[in-house]
Structure 1
Amino acid sequence: MERLPVRKTIQAESGIPFRLVYTDTKSPQNELPDHLHDWHEIIYVYRGQGTIFIDASLEDMQEGDLFIIPGSTVHRALPDAGNPVTSSALFFSPGLLASTAGGSASAMLSLFERCRKRRVYKRHLDTKEQAQVAVLIDDIHAEFQLEHHLSAHAALLRLQLLLIYLERLEAVGPASPARSVPGPGWLSSTLIHMDEELRSGLSLPELARQAAVSPAHFSRAFKRYTGMTLTDYALARRVIMAKEHLLRSDETMAVVADACGFESLPHFYRQFKKLTGTTPAAYRKTMKSQDQT
């Protein structure tokens, strides 16, 4: 049976599109390669070591690191086998705040858009900042544990406090670009080049030649660090690009399919639904209706 390596369904808690995975210790055996979802994600690292692939770069993970991952960003954690990362991860739909925080929602979510534009997703917190973030996450966990009929609402308010705190940290000083970590030197430049060439098609021999490695080595390293084959990654990026076109324009489906490098309109429909579980038209309608609530 064919496995889709880039789609992840997140189960909501308490009936709202918000979930906390609390103090989870990762291992190479249980870390899934399914790493593409529409929800925003915040990861806080308590201890351990590892690396994480986000968008087009590899970054190290260690105690005190905070990662801001916008929705529809390809990512995958690579825990250290001897000293695995223990972290908490918060997932939530961007539309959740739009329906509860009113005019303040865009301000609280602007951090995610800045991270996407700058391609800087990591901030290392000092001791005081670590304590504050840990307390806010503990409070969210405690509310979900209470199972009171207002627990979901209280947890959401604490999520907003966390986002406000992170926004204030950003105002004091934006996060710095990550340090380089072990990995193939050609990976980041290759991924950026692939984004630029999605419409014209991608060739494994040509990409390997540009990276100055053999096609076999390219394929092995690419799969190791991204969790996907070259074909699956290119498809994921085309779907991400299509989502942006669908939300930010009123272009026809045929125009979107051509702009994102799909072979044909039927191919676009088939692959988009395979990775997202919905059709392009339904995705546009659903997401735009959330933005208007």
Structure 2
Amino acid sequence: MPGSDVTSPKYHILERSFTIQYLHKNGSYSMNRAHFHPFYEIYYLLKGERVYFINGSVYTVNKGDLIVINPHDLHRTDNSNADSNGFERILINFTHDFITPNLDGELPLLPFKGDSHLIRFPLKEQASIENMLWELMAECKEKQAGHAAVVRALLVKLLICIYRFQLQALEEPSRSPNPMHRKISEIASYLTVHFHEKPTLDQVAKQFFISPSHLSRVFKSVTGFYFREYLLLLRIREAQKQLRETHHKVQTIAESCGFENLTHFNKSFKKIIGLSPLQYRKRSKI
């Protein structure tokens, strides 16, 4: 039906070790808030324009642009001023274990080079990228014999295309030209470095020459989080990293991430992650 949204099923392989989904959205659409997850993400915009918030940076995403997201990186997609006619995208999520058997040890395909960011393929290369994405969709939809192996092979081919382009690219695509987006990028980047110092809204607003009320409103508009919520998420994300990668005591991790006491840390961690810190550490070691 003309004017209606179109969303394909979310096709998956091996209990969601790999998923892919097509979405055609008419009119505006905004994620409620930024989020992060323990798997990789590839977002390709087939039509329209979007705004993408990634780890403190804000990008304007155009048709033919591809976003790569490493595990545990904070991200959110939002409306742009030019997307009133809607947009189309293909979204892929996959775990490292799904692709590991097919990776060439000589090519550092993962994690994505240069952290999570936007890749702007030249027009002449976009058709090849889109063909691979539609082939992946078709394999997952039809599920013919050997489709999982074909999906892995196509995904590796896509990752190699991304890697080759990154080697050749002279510079990363610029961030959003919107002054509001640039200001929030600066503030979010500052918070990423200084979150353990417990900065307040008033302190940060004064430092960046903006009123606290305006900062609160604009920050929520771009990130989907209120200022204090975003700080809490940064602390929890750092705690996850330390739980995965170190043997530090939970008490030590809580203190290093800016929590005043262990009870508050445990309660906040479970509310956001759905597991206690010790449960999360145990599962991440499996």
**Does TM, normalized by the shorter one, top 0.5?**
yes
Candidates 162, 167, 177, aligned match of 2:163: 167
Aligned AA for 2:41?
Answer: E
Instruction: Describe the superposition over 1:165-219 as per-residue Cα deviations: whole angstroms up to 9, x where unpaired.
Output: 2112222336514244214243222112212221121211111112222211111
Candidates 150, 153, 159, aligned match of 1:157: 153
- Inter-CA distance 166–247: structure 2 relative to 1 (3 Å threshold): same
- Inter-CA distance 71–61: structure 2 relative to 1 (3 Å threshold): same
- Inter-CA distance 273–156: structure 2 relative to 1 (3 Å threshold): farther
User: Equivalents in 1 of 2:186, 2:242: separation in Å?
Assistant: 24
Aligned residues of 2:46 and 2:88 also touching (Cα < 8 A)? yes
Aligned AA for 1:108?
Answer: L
1:284 aligns with 2:266: no
1:28 aligns with 2:28: yes
After TM superposition, the structure 1 = structure 2 runs for residues 83-162 of structure 1, keeping only pairs within 5 Å, are 83-98=85-100, 100-101=101-102, 104=105, 107-110=108-111, 112=112, 114-116=113-115, 121-148=117-144, 150-162=146-158
Stretches of structure 1 that go unaligned for 5 or more consecutive residues are 1-10
Runs in 1 of length 4+ with deviation above 6 angstroms? none
User: Equivalents in 2 of 1:66, 1:160: separation in Å?
Assistant: 16
After TM superposition, the structure 1 = structure 2 runs for residues 201-220 of structure 1, keeping only pairs within 5 Å, are 201-220=198-217
- Residue in 2 aligned with 1:46? 46
After TM superposition, the structure 1 = structure 2 runs for residues 47-62 of structure 1, keeping only pairs within 5 Å, are 47-62=47-62
After TM superposition, the structure 1 = structure 2 runs for residues 260-271 of structure 1, keeping only pairs within 5 Å, are 260-271=257-268
- Inter-CA distance 97–281: structure 2 relative to 1 (3 Å threshold): farther
- Residue in 2 aligned with 1:71? 71
Aligned residues of 2:41 and 2:91 also touching (Cα < 8 A)? yes
For the aligned residues, what is the CA RMSD?
2.4
User: Equivalents in 2 of 1:27, 1:211: separation in Å?
Assistant: 34
User: Equivalents in 2 of 1:27, 1:17: separation in Å?
Assistant: 31
Stretches of structure 2 that go unaligned for 5 or more consecutive residues are 1-9
Aligned AA for 2:166?
Answer: E
Aligned AA for 2:233?
Answer: A
User: Equivalents in 2 of 1:189, 1:170: separation in Å?
Assistant: 25
Aligned AA for 1:45?
Answer: L
Instruction: Describe the superposition over 1:197-243 as per-residue Cα deviations: whole angstroms up to 9, x where unpaired.
Output: 21121211111112222211111100000011111111111111112
Aligned residues of 1:49 and 1:83 also touching (Cα < 8 A)? no
- Residue in 2 aligned with 1:258? 255
> After alignment, is 87-96 or 76-85 more displaced?
76-85
User: Equivalents in 2 of 1:277, 1:268: separation in Å?
Assistant: 13
- Residue in 2 aligned with 1:4? none
> After alignment, is 193-202 or 100-109 more displaced?
100-109
Aligned residues of 2:28 and 2:84 also touching (Cα < 8 A)? no
TM-score, with normalisation over the residues of structure 1?
Answer: 0.84
User: Equivalents in 2 of 1:269, 1:106: separation in Å?
Assistant: 40
Aligned residues of 1:45 and 1:88 also touching (Cα < 8 A)? yes
- CA apart distance, 1:96: 2.6
User: Equivalents in 1 of 2:26, 2:199: separation in Å?
Assistant: 33
- Seq. identity, %: 26
Give secondary structure in 2 for the equivalent of 1:41: strand
TM-score, with normalisation over the residues of structure 2?
Answer: 0.86
